[in-house]
Amino acid sequence: MAWEIAPRLSLAAGPTLNYAEADLRQGVYPTPSLVGDQLKFKGDGTDIGFNAGLLWQPHAQHSFGASYRSQTTQNFRGHTEGQGPIPAFLAGQSSASIRFPFPQHVVAGWSFRPSPVWNFEFDVDWTDWDRLDSITLQRAAGNLPAQAFNWRSSFFYEWGLTRYFDKGYALSAGYIYSENSVPDANFNPIVPDSDRHVFSVGVGRKGRQFRWDAAYQLAYGPSRTVNNSAPSTAGELADGRYRFISHALTFSLGYTF
């Protein structure tokens, strides 16, 4: 639902129904000599949340926006299944559940258009990862030790610019700095988070009815050395040196009736 409070001020809000599936798998023993030992969990869950947004344009050249997405907690219900040479209490199937907290998310941004052919933008995103402390796999046949995360809240700082050309063409570029959310003590190679730099370029065209956009993104995480990490439930340490790099290509096509 959206409401134009004043000619240059609008407010929007709405509910969300969140459905998710989980498929988690982990080896049981830290030694690689035992092949095929594995404990699997499969389940799904739903939760209800909401989001809201605000747009204020005090001047033709300036626009300010903010959005909020509420926190949710997914209660995944399903079953575990043990395979291979594992302890007897993990073997076979057992009904199980995991409560996983997802964070609230706040975004604030500013758009500056000094002329009809230029648009400069800056956003700040905050994600409340402090909610993710520890997770316990609860089984009818016996709970497993809690898996500690102890993540911390973090910010994204985003800059972008767009140059508009004749015949509906536009060229864009952007940069994002992403703060690390995972402390060394609870570092897990499954989510090898680090401070990251994200660069992107894109081109597009908007016609009378059709619109298309294409973009390339490079995400780079400088080398991160992890020391004195806590042992996992399988007794393994995550100490080591980690680097991150990824490439992404996107293409979108739109049609207006």
* Chain-centre distance for alpha carbon 84: 33
What would the mean pLDDT of 137-153 be, rounded to a whole number? 88
Give the per-residue pLDDT at 37.
81
Percentage of the chain exceeding pLDDT 90: 67
- Residue 14's CB is within 10 A of a number of other CB atoms, namely 10
- Residue 186's CB is within 10 A of a number of other CB atoms, namely 19
Give pTM, 2 decimals: 0.83
Closest listed residue to residue 215, CA positions, set 184, 177, 171: 171
Give the per-residue pLDDT at 108.
98
What would the mean pLDDT of 12-41 be, rounded to a whole number? 84
pLDDT(151) > 60: yes
Which is more confidently placed, 12 or 237? 12
pLDDT(253) > 80: yes
Which is more confidently placed, 252 or 228? 252
Catalogue all structural domains in the chain, each as residue range(s) with its CATH number.
Answer: 2-255 (2.40.160.60)
Least confident of 33-37, 82-86, 145-149, 180-184: 33-37
Per-residue pLDDT reduced to its tens digit, 71-87? 999 999 999 998 888 88
Give the per-residue pLDDT at 142.
84
Give the per-residue pLDDT at 232.
62
The CA-based angle 93-99-104, given to 5 degrees, is 150
3-state DSSP: the chain helix, strand, coil percent, rounded to 5?
Answer: 5, 65, 30
Give the per-residue pLDDT at 31.
63
Which is more confidently placed, 235 or 167? 167
Cβ burial, residue 209 (10 Å; 0-12/13-18/19+): exposed
Are 244 and 218 within 8 A, CB to CB?
no
What contacts 100, CB < 8 A, 6 or more positions away?
A: 22, 73, 74, 76, 135
What would the mean pLDDT of 42-55 be, rounded to a whole number? 96
Per-residue pLDDT reduced to its tens digit, 49-66? 999 999 999 999 999 999
| Reduced 3-state DSSP string for 42-57 | EEEEEEEEEEEEEEEE
Which is more confidently placed, 148 or 11? 11
